[in-house]
Amino acid sequence: LEISQSSVSTLVRELEANLGLRLLDRHTRKLQLTQAGAEILPLARKAMAELDKVLGSSAELRTLGRGRVAIASASLQAALLLPDAIREFQAAYPGVKVTIDDVAEHEVIAKLRRGEVDFGVGSARASEQDIGAQLLLTDTFAAVMPPDHPLARRRQLSWRELADVPLIGPPPDNAVRMQLDEALARTGIALTRRFEAQLPLTLLGMVASGLGIAVMTTAMNRLALALGLAIRPVGEPVIEREISLLVHVDRSLSPAAQNFRDLLLARRRQPDAAPPAARARRGLGA
């Protein structure tokens, strides 16, 4: 125990005082368990074994020998931004399980507030004061349309032109739409959505069916091109969308979640770690 015999005797007496029981009969040359001591000894051994388990588990969690990281992410970021980061993290900490809840954009913050995930990846508004945001990357908005649409003949469009066209887009409670509409409102422009859907793939399917033009972020470019759709940048003004790492300000992160967060934030400073859409924009000089 690495403590003196007198210290052990003092601890035993304190334990007896706390329990209100004599645990040892003390004789001149020996100590003997009382009946109460004999009954309590196996319980004490079991308690010590459980304490050892707690200490061992806490050490594993602290050193990332095991653990869990739960992330809520808009579906596109879940597909493009997170997989490479998870692969790098798992190589360093194979005992930690990482789960992604890929959801509609507005559900990311809802899951954070309900405490269902450690953090989220998506967009947040400044008015959401219980949500902390650290910027990961930005992209811009573009118009996605069938290749035979009249506006596809243009190299670039303006927001005022799109204000006169019925559009396809996410519903009003979508964080990305809120960011866009608020930015346009400051310039006196309002867009009209004829059709609404929450998920980006659904919006692209509606465009491919000829239902209209969708205003989407350039993160969707690769998928839109794969579907044979035309993409035209929209300016006057150019509007950026922020993709951030989101946390609830009143909750602390586990060691595993802290390390994954730090990895994501470090990767934003690495040019080769950007998702494919961002790399494509850099290659075009955008």
Whether 58 shows a pLDDT value over 80: the answer reads no
The pLDDT-based confidence of 146 (bands split at 50, 70, 90) is: very high
pLDDT the model gives residue 285: 29
Class of the CATH domain delimited by 139-241: alpha beta
Which H or E run contains 179?
Answer: helix 175-185
Whether 79 shows a pLDDT value over 90: the answer reads no
Which of these ranges, 21-25, 113-117, 176-180, 198-202, has the smallest mean pLDDT? Answer: 21-25
Length of the chain: 286
User: What is the rounded average pLDDT for all residues in the chain?
Assistant: 83
pTM score of the predicted model:
0.66
Whether 277 shows a pLDDT value over 70: the answer reads no
CATH topology of domain 5-62: Arc Repressor Mutant, subunit A (1.10.10)
Return d(Cα 225, Cα 208) in angstroms, integer: 11
Residues of the chain with CATH 3.40.190.10: 67-136+243-283, 139-241
Q: Which one has a higher pLDDT value, 246 or 28?
A: 246
Residue 160 tokens, joined: 């005022």
For the structural domain made of 67-136+243-283, what CATH number should be given? 3.40.190.10
The pLDDT-based confidence of 15 (bands split at 50, 70, 90) is: confident
- Residue-wise DSSP of 72-123: EEEHHHHHHTHHHHHHHHHHH-TTEEEEEEEE-HHHHHHHHHTT-SSEEEE-
Most confident of 32-46, 62-76, 127-141, 189-203: 189-203
Q: What is the pLDDT of residues 216-230, one digit of tens each?
A: 999 889 889 999 999
Residue 8 tokens, joined: 């052990």
Which of these ranges, 158-162, 205-209, 227-231, 276-280, has the smallest mean pLDDT? Answer: 276-280
Residues of the chain with CATH 1.10.10.10: 5-62
Return d(Cα 283, Cα 277) in angstroms, integer: 10
Residue 100: closest CA among 111, 113, 88: 111
Return d(Cα 213, Cα 253) in angstroms, integer: 41
